[in-house]
Structure 1
Amino acid sequence: MNIDWAALGSVFGVSLVVTVALVGLFTLGIVGLAKQASATRDGGPAALVRTGAYACFALCVAAVAYGIYLIVA
């Protein structure tokens, strides 16, 4: 049995980076929705904050959909 350690390490590294990025993006969406209430109360740009949060969630959905596509195809 011959294990390609370089390929295994590459897959691990890419998976780790993508996972951290996806969790970070989702966290930004959650924080954006949490800040929307304070932005509305303070008279700030609530629509801009909400749009940014929804964009973060949309990117998360796109990344997950692309991952499913790669698994199925």
Structure 2
Amino acid sequence: MKIDWAALGSVFGVSLVATVVLVGLFTLGIVGLSKQESASAQSGGSAVLARTGAYACFALCAAAVTYGIYLIVV
């Protein structure tokens, strides 16, 4: 049995980058929601912006997970 180390390294690198990006997006979403609560006490405009950004981050996470499931199934 021969292992293609270049392909294995490529898969490792792509999965590492994808994991870091997804965790980063989810973290930004949670930070946006926490900032939304503190921003709503100060002014209304930045609270809407924080909530919209957080929802956008969560939507990107869901899209990436959905695309990954699509790649596995198809």
Q: For 1:13 and 1:45, how far apart are their aligned partners in 2?
A: 37
Equivalent residue of 1:45, what SS?
Answer: helix
Shift of 1:45: 1.2
Could you give the per-residue CA deviations for residues 35-65 of structure 1, whole angstroms, max 9, x where no partner exists? 0011101115111110000000000000000
Q: For 2:47 and 2:15, how far apart are their aligned partners in 1?
A: 34
In structure 1, the partner of 2:20 is 20
In structure 1, the partner of 2:63 is 62
Q: For 1:35 and 1:49, how far apart are their aligned partners in 2?
A: 7
Amino acid corresponding to residue 32 of structure 1 in structure 2: G
Q: For 2:61 and 2:26, how far apart are their aligned partners in 1?
A: 7
Root-mean-square deviation over aligned CA pairs = 0.7
The number of equivalent residue pairs is 73
Q: For 2:46 and 2:24, how far apart are their aligned partners in 1?
A: 22
In structure 2, the partner of 1:71 is 72
Equivalent residue of 2:50, what SS?
Answer: helix
Which consecutive unaligned segments of at least 5 residues does structure 1 have?
Answer: none
Runs of 4 or more, structure 1, over 6 Å off, are: none
TM-score, with normalisation over the residues of structure 1?
A: 0.97
